[in-house]
Amino acid sequence: MGRIRDWSGVHIDAVKSGINLIARAHFGMVFVRRDHLILDIILDHELKHPHAKKVEQLSPQLFIHKFWLTSTEDVNDELIGWVRDAYELKR
């Protein structure tokens, strides 16, 4: 969250169900589970990548991608790049 918090205009809002990632609009969500985190990000294209555990099409131009994070190694530059893409789309 540290790198994301440094981006201009990002608001991180902790709520009962998880952590909202907001720029001008909502671009992601983190859900806390007992043994892992689930990161949802909204992109304007579908990622075909094994780390995207589930992809749902919200509209013709919006896709929500779900990532299961079980260790700090799961949060790498590639994942942060996708989160940055989601942020850029909504800022």
- What's the token pair of residue 3? 């790198």
Give residue 72's pLDDT: 93
The one-letter code for the residue type at 64 is I
Specify the number of domains making up the chain: 1
Domain extent, residue 41, equals: 2-90
pTM recorded for the entire structure: 0.90
Q: Kindly report, residue by residue over 8-64, the tens digit of the pLDDT.
A: 999 999 999 999 999 999 999 999 999 999 999 999 999 998 889 999 999 999 999
pLDDT of residue 87: 96
Q: What is the pLDDT of residue 31?
A: 97
Answer with the residue of higher pLDDT: 69 or 6.
69
- 2 has pLDDT over 80: no
Instruction: State how far Cα 37 lies from the chain centre.
Output: 11
